[in-house]
Amino acid sequence: FYVEGNAHADALVSAVVMGPVPNVRQQAVLSHQFFHQGFCILKPYVSNLVYHILRLVAACPECQGTHASNYFGTNPRGLQALQIWQMDVTHVDELGRQKHVHVSIDTYSHAMVATAH
């Protein structure tokens, strides 16, 4: 008697709590509206709706200026040597007073310069 009653109550409650499951496109819209995720986060889940996701993120007024656009066709390496550099500072305690190592890499030629400071 109790088991049947619990099963019936669970069936009634779970239908109300879960509600209808939205389609993939609607899930992407709801996820972006709640978390304000960018294109790169949403793309793997709804890869067949790439154009829709680009429009969704671009049209969101709260995300204007916060998500970098994907610039297809650009060259992240630069077009010539010494044009774009990536830099980082690494801490190496074994070097004593000059424990800060500045590392710079030319993205075009992959030339690397490391100096201790």
pLDDT tens sequence across 28-51: 888 888 887 887 787 777 777 777
DSSP secondary-structure letter at 26?
Answer: H
- Taking residue 37's Cβ as centre, other Cβ atoms within 10 Å add up to 19
- Average pLDDT of the chain is 76
**Statement: residue 22 has pLDDT above 60:** yes
Give which of 93, 94, 86 is closest to 114, Cα–Cα. Answer: 86
What is the reported pLDDT for 21? 60
| Distances from the Cα of 20 to the Cα of 7, 13, 33, 37, 106, angstroms | 20, 13, 18, 23, 53
